[in-house]
Structures are given as structure tokens and as C-alpha cells.
Amino acid sequence: GAVVSQHPSWVICKSGTSVKIECRSLDFQATTMFWYRQFPKQSLMLMATSNEGSKATYEQGVEKDKFLINHASLTLSTLTVTSAHPEDSSFYICTPRSSDVEAFFGQGTRLTVV
Amino acid sequence: KNQVEQSPQSLIILEGKNCTLQCNYTVSPFSNLRWYKQDTGRGPVSLTIMTFSENTKSNGRYTATLDADTKQSSLHITASQLSDSASYICVGGASGTYKYIFGTGTRLKVLA
């Protein structure tokens, strides 16, 4: 199955700054990467789907100008939270689309905006 | 509307005891049902995956069941250990899409 590495595992940033989260598929070429967000005691919610070489698709209610997604290669997708605010504090997780039934998740990034 | 509901929301048991977590799903067209374990601050880790033709699947002390007729699944944990303390998430997979429908999870706490 796919091995997914996410970096950083946690980050604290000041309000108004931008934060980039990387998601690497280590042994698998991921043409598609799913980005999820999880608030405390809530379920994972799909934010967007990144596609290698093309624009990401965003779920309803997710601001595409705030959450910039880049999927420049088959092994790397990045999510940049621009002008972060405290309400963006959350747990962000990625998982590549796989032809297998299995879905492997990154270890997640805990973002805290102060 | 595709959705997955889990019960109970939270559960506390003593070490060594068994427990069963429940999942009701409405996923159409249904493809598969998964159970994940998520430790606090970590990504989910797969425990079991079942397609509509499977009734049960085991992974060590974890045994999942699936009733495609009633659209229910359960996860049974045998001889619980302190390390079983985590959130357990039921996830539905629909055919024709790689998007997953997540339940809100059951938070399990195992006490010594």
C-alpha cells in the first residue's frame, strides 16, 4: 500500500501569515490527492481534491483563494493556508487516490494560529 | 444523502474487557466499509476493509462485521488493552468515486 508522508506534523503561526503543508507519496505515484480537515471531536471533512498538472477541485464552502493547492508532481501535493486566522486552526490530513481499496493517510498536520 | 452514523459517541471500559462499536451507513452505490483507528493527533490507520459480499473480517483482536441488507457494521474489540484507547472511525466507500464518507467516530478509553 501507499506510504504517505506529511510535513510538518505540527505548526504554530501568527494570524495573517501563510503556512504550507506538504504531502508526499513515497512509494506511489498519486495523480490525485485528497485533503481533509478535522476539527476537534469532529469527523474528517473533505476540503479539496488536487490533481497532478491541473487545478484542484474544492468542496462547497471551502475558499479556493484561501487554501491554495499545488500538485506539481506525482509524488508531492501542497496545501497553503493563506492569511491564516485562528478559525483555521485544525488538523489537516492528506491521502492519495489509490486503485486499491485501501486508503492510506498522512500522519496529519496540527495547525494552530495564534 | 450519503452518511455514516456511529454509536456510541464515547465509551469507557476496563482493560481486558471486550466492546462492540456500531456503525449505520447510507452509501449509494455501496462499495466498501472500512474501520480506522485514529490516535489523538495522528492520521487514521486502517483496521479492516469489507466489500458488500463480505460479512466479517478480523485483524488481530479486531473483528468487523457487515450486514449489507440492514446497512450496519460493527467493530468488536477483544481483550482490550490500554493502547486501544483512540477514536474508531467507520468509513463508507461509494462505487465510482474515491471519495470517502466518514462517521464522527467513537472515542474509546481503556482504563487500567
Helix (H, G, I), strand (E, B) or coil at A6: strand
Q: Which of B41, B49, B104 sits opposite A102 (nearest CB)?
A: B49
- Residue A46 CA to residue B95 CA, distance in Å, equals 17
CB contact under 8 A, A43 and B93: no
Rounded alpha-carbon distances, angstroms, from residue A70 to A20, A33, A53, A81: 10, 10, 9, 12
* Per-residue model confidence as pLDDT tens for chain A (114 residues): 568 899 999 999 999 999 999 999 888 788 889 999 999 888 889 999 998 888 899 999 999 999 999 998 888 999 999 999 999 999 999 988 765 556 788 889 999 999
The residue type of A111 is L
β-strand partners of B112: none
What is the residue whose three cell numbers read 471531536? A41
For B14, how many CA atoms within 13 A lie in the half-sphere containing its CB? 0
Contacts of A111 (CB under 8 A, 6+ apart): A10, A11, A13, A19, A21, A81, A84, A88, A89, A90, A91, A92
Task: Report how many Cβ contacts below 8 Å link chain A to chain B.
Answer: 47
- The 8-class DSSP code of residue A83 comes to S
Say if residues B89 and B38 touch (Cβ distance below 8 Å).
yes
What integer best gives the mean pLDDT of chain B?
A: 93
What is the residue whose three cell numbers read 501563510? A18
Instruction: Summarize pLDDT for B70-88 with one digit per residue, the tens.
Output: 999 999 999 999 999 999 9
Q: Which of B44, B49, B99 sits opposite A105 (nearest CB)?
A: B44
Say if residues B50 and B101 touch (Cβ distance below 8 Å).
no
